[in-house]
Copies of this chain bind each other. A is one copy, B any other.
Amino acid sequence: MIIGILKEIKSEENRVSMTPAGAEVMKQHGHTLLVEKHAGAGSGFDNESYVSAGAEIIDTPEDIYGPAHMVMHVKEPLPSEYELINEEQILFTYLHLAASEELTRALTKSRPVNIAYETIQKEDGSLPLLTPMSEVAGRMSIQEGAKYLEMAQGGEGILLSGVPGVAPATVIVIGAGTVGTNAAKMACGLGAKVYLLDINLDRLRYLSDVMPSNCFLIMFSPQPFANL
């Protein structure tokens, strides 16, 4: 199959839909890889690294949409690309169609085979292409929260970890799914006093086996958090 890796054009999107390592695996399985020039730049991969992996560097999106059996993006196609999409061509990317009538109508017209990353589900119901984003989001949330507690950022001047003699901050995480658990791990690592709440008691039991001892696992209820 001819697989096209497009450069992201949405503002502030630095990711790329396939790393050189991924390209090499695809190549080993017999596929042809077309990578748009500088597609990996925002993620730290230069053109040469894709060439080493066996891909061909292509100058324009037109020259990728044309021959590719499958085109890959990170974000949804922008209006400038609508005309380039071919019928029966596989479009593999985050689509989030519910949020855009315009995009939905454009794809209905071009009639590619759409496979949205966010809808791919494994047999056990997990969402393999969303989990890594949730892991990053959960871990970043503590980093962001720590920042906005700084007085210079308008916060109350609280250090999550405290120092010896000064109590650490209290962090309450509601929901012990991927995002919440990753957030709790970071907050625990910094030494905060962490409450992780969920309504799934089986999940809390597993977490009681593996979380650090400063993570207190609480059944969520609508009652106030007064005694946390």
CB distance from A174 to the nearest CB of B (A): 14
Q: Is A67 an interface residue (CB 8 A)?
A: no
Q: Is A75 an interface residue (CB 8 A)?
A: no
Contacts of A136 in B (CB 8 A): 159, 163
How far, in whole Å, are A160 and B139 apart by their CA atoms in the complex? Answer: 9
A interface, how many residues as a size bin? 35 or more
CB distance from A81 to the nearest CB of B (A): 24
Contacts of A2 in B (CB 8 A): none
How far, in whole Å, are A195 and B21 apart by their CA atoms in the complex? Answer: 18
Partner of A22, one of B43, B146, B221: B221
Contact (Cβ within 8 A) A186 B190: yes
Contact (Cβ within 8 A) B164 A207: yes
Partner of A212, one of B186, B193, B213, B218: B213
- A157 and B217 in contact (CB under 8 A), knowing A223-B21, A223-B24? no
**Interface-side segment among A31-39, A58-66, A103-111, A165-173:** A165-173
Contacts of A168 in B (CB 8 A): 216
Contact (Cβ within 8 A) A167 B216: yes
In A185-218, the 8 Å CB interface with B consists of 185-186, 188-191, 193, 195, 201-202, 204-205, 207-210, 212-214, 216-218
Contact (Cβ within 8 A) A210 B213: no
In A39-71, the 8 Å CB interface with B consists of 42-44, 53
Q: Which 4 pairs, one residue from A and one from B, show the smallest C-beta to C-beta distance?
A: A189-B189, A21-B221, A165-B219, A213-B214
